[in-house]
């Protein structure tokens, strides 16, 4: 099974997008509990979900559209984002119903960027040396280090269309509900971190970054291998990861047997958009 290429049809894309909506919903719910200010929301929309976590958060988005008809009721959604001074960002799979893209562009949504969704079947593999699970008492160190590493973008591939300040990155990493966090060490130092979440048999890889001093040393490869091994132990049949197109993260994932399944178009109405919650575009190794 390790050598089998993974083909993505509409059914598999819908399964992945449904898992994404559950992940984003859980993260937005965690942010709402953390803040307690009543401004956040999680609302179903045409088989997908629309979420707002906090101002500038990567969890302010609409995800999972295109597999259950047109998203009627966008007037209310757009009004809710406008009330909070935020643009509306839609992440739309290229395997979604094309009518949804036409519907959105007719409403004034513009194409801002793309992100790639890669996946592979879970096979057999060992847990690499130098990577271990993050302990509860190491959480703050993990959050701080991964956020700091994420601030220094790798130069390979298409750059992200927006950056986030450190405090928002820490908040977003903290609010990733239900994830299992791992850290990599080199010469006794924290070198990088990553996480994944299990949703309906899918291991959703997220939150990966390597500190600049440890890049090009195999750190992210080790973190990928560790999460694949942990996903197998968790009984997952599929692993997915989201990357920036042409990035080192994309290259690393392909070297570990991930296939490019589809791209998501980032469509925005309003000014300034956010990156995907799951993107590993900064994880240089």
Write out pLDDT tens, residues 101-150. Answer: 999 999 999 999 999 999 999 988 889 999 999 999 999 999 999 999 99
Q: Distance between CA 199 and CA 22 in Å, rounded?
A: 8
Model-level pTM greater than 0.75?
Answer: yes
Three-class secondary structure assignment of 166-205: HHHHHHHHHCCCCCEEEEEEECCEEEEEEEEEEECCEEEE
Q: What percent of the chain has pLDDT over 70?
A: 91
For 160, phi then psi, to 5°, come to: -65, 145
pLDDT at 273 over 50: no
**Predicted confidence (pLDDT) at residue 179 exceeds the cutoff of 90:** yes
pLDDT at residue 4 above 90?
no
Mean pLDDT value across the chain: 92
Helix (H, G, I), strand (E, B) or coil at 260: strand
Ranges of each domain in the chain: 10-116, 121-262
How high is the pLDDT of residue 276? 46
Sheet with 202-210, strands from edge to edge, namely 41-45, 48-52, 61-63, 88-93, 259-269, 110-121, 238-243, 202-210, 189-199, 180-186, 131-133
Region 255-268: mean pLDDT is 97
Q: What does the pLDDT read at residue 222?
A: 96
Query: Is the pLDDT assigned to residue 282 strictly greater than 80?
Result: no
What 3-state DSSP class applies to 255?
helix
pLDDT higher than threshold 50 for residue 285: no
- Nearest CA-CA partner of 242 in 6, 44, 17, 48: 17
pLDDT attached to residue 1: 43
CB 169 within 8 A of CB 147: yes
Given a cut of 50, whether residue 275 has pLDDT beyond it is no
Q: pLDDT tens digits, residue range 60-90?
A: 999 999 999 999 999 999 999 999 999 999 9
Q: Give the model's pLDDT for residue 156.
A: 67
> What average pLDDT does this structure show over 164-181?
96
Q: Distances in Å between the alpha carbon of 8 and those of 114, 118, 224? A: 18, 10, 21
Q: Which CATH architecture has domain 121-262?
A: 3-Layer(aba) Sandwich (3.40)
Tokens representing residue 171 in the block: 């908040």
Rounded to whole angstroms, the Cα distance separating 110 from 19 reads 25
Per-residue CA distances from 67 to 4, 10, 93, 149, 183 (Å): 27, 9, 10, 36, 36
């Amino acid at each position: 099974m390790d050598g089998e290429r993974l083909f993505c049809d509409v059914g598999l894309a819908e399964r992945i997008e449904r898992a994404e909506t559950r992940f984003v919903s859980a993260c937005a719910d965690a942010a709402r509990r953390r803040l307690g200010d009543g401004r956040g929301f999680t609302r179903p929309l045409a088989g997908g979900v629309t979420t707002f976590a906090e101002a500038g958060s990567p969890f302010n988005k609409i995800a999972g559209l295109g597999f259950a008809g047109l998203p009627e009721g966008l007037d209310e959604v757009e009004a809710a984002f406008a009330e909070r001074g935020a643009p509306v960002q839609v992440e739309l799979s290229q395997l979604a119903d094309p009518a949804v893209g036409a519907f959105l562009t007719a409403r004034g949504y513009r194409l801002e960027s793309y992100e790639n969704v890669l996946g592979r079947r879970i096979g057999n593999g060992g847990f690499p040396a130098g990577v271990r699970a993050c302990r509860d008492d190491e959480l703050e160190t993990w959050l701080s280090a991964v956020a700091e590493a994420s601030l220094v973008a790798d130069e390979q591939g298409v750059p992200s269309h927006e950056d986030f300040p450190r405090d928002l990155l820490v908040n977003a990493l903290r609010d990733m509900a239900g994830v299992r966090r791992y850290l990599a060490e080199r010469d006794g130092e924290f070198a990088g971190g990553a996480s994944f979440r299990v949703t309906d048999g899918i291991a959703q890889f997220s939150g990966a970054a390597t500190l600049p001093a440890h890049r090009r040393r195999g750190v992210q490869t080790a973190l990928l291998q560790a999460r694949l091994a942990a996903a197998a132990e968790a009984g997952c049949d599929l692993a997915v990861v989201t990357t920036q197109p042409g990035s080192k993260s994309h290259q690393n994932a392909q070297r570990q047997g991930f296939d490019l399944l589809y791209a998501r178009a980032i469509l925005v109405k309003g000014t300034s958009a956010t990156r995907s919650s799951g993107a590993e575009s900064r994880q240089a190794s």
